[in-house]
Amino acid sequence: MVAVADRSPNPLTRMRDAVWHPTPGSLRFLALLGVIGNALIVATGGAVRVTKSGLGCPEWPRCTGDSLVPTHSAEHPALNMSIEFGNRLLTFVVLGVGVLVFVAAVRLRPRRGSLVRWALAQPMSVVAQAVIGGIVVLTDLHPASVALHFLVSPALLVFCVILWIRAGEGDAPPRALAAPRVRRLAAALVAACGVVLVAGTVVTGTGPHAGDADSRRWGFNIEDVTRVHSGLAWVTVALTILAAVVLHRTDAPPAARRRVHELIALELAQGALGYVQYFMGVPGPLVVLHMLGAVLLWIAAWRLALALRDRGPVPSATAPAPEPTTTEAPQPA
């Protein structure tokens, strides 16, 4: 193991050691990069849609019929091709981070099997996401495939967030830090956030930002699906306020109280943004921010749920076994 105090002044060496000679802290940092990367790719995917660049690369896995990278095309503007291709490249960056996280989890000593499994789920899920992205292109941005493509990201973020939290705690059996009703309320809050995400994909699939001018849309009334989405969001806010009251009236851990305050702040900001974008005619930049806010809420809800149990301290590093020493027998004079 490389001790933290022995860090090299060379940043490349430190990056290598964070993966090849990981500590619990460096693994947790890599896991956080996975959380950030998968949240950002949701925002860049939104940018693809609002700029009508969804078919900027009309083929998959190639960008065009005979090229992996954007080339001149009379049917697809260069800007749209660049935006779509840039989103594809970011997928490879997120995949690379997932691979590094997995290698670090395998190399961590003592090895923790649960962390290895959570880490393995990340690159595997990114590969699945890339395949679904190909289906989105090949179906000409059908709203069902687009919705699935979006919803895989929150599912992948569950793996990333759990690994991030688990890397900073031990492997003891979970010990509840709150009453059962509080933990059930937190679980209901996570479920409510998930339902709001699903409803949001229906609104997006009905609204004006299809990703391409000729893409198919759902035939729902946009005002009706928006009201449903808004109503579910208000239910989530009510559950969060109830959770805050219960946490403050019981002997809840301070970390859980901080998490619920963060969640309320995010919900207020997200709600205000949602109403502003609706009354402004759904401008593209606000749509991208709203999508990013949705995944931030999802992350915050999971952090609250995970703050209601304790799994003990992080296992200490295994010290390397000392080299055996040989003692020479005294020689006769």
Q: For residue 200, give the nearest of 91, 285, 274, 276 by alpha carbon.
A: 274
pLDDT computed for residue 321 by the predictor: 41
Residue pair 264/241 in contact by the 8 Å Cβ criterion: yes
Question: Can you give the pLDDT of all 333 residues of the chain as single tens digits?
Answer: 444 445 667 888 888 888 999 999 999 999 999 999 999 999 999 999 899 888 888 888 888 877 888 887 777 788 888 889 898 899 999 999 999 999 999 999 999 999 999 999 999 988 988 899 889 988 989 999 999 999 999 999 999 999 999 999 999 999 999 999 999 999 999 999 999 999 999 998 898 887 887 788 898 999 999 999 999 999 999 999 999 999 999 888 899 999 999 999 999 999 999 999 988 988 989 999 999 999 999 999 999 999 999 999 998 765 444 444 444 444 443
State the burial class of residue 37 (Cβ atoms within 10 Å of its Cβ: 0-12, 13-18, 19+).
buried
Residue pair 51/77 in contact by the 8 Å Cβ criterion: no
Residue with tokens 């009703």: 181
Element (H, E) at 184: helix 180-206
Query: d(Cα 166, Cα 31) in Å, to the nearest integer?
Result: 10
pLDDT computed for residue 317 by the predictor: 65
Residue pair 40/90 in contact by the 8 Å Cβ criterion: yes
Start-to-end Cα distance in the chain:
44
Rg value, the chain, Cα: 24
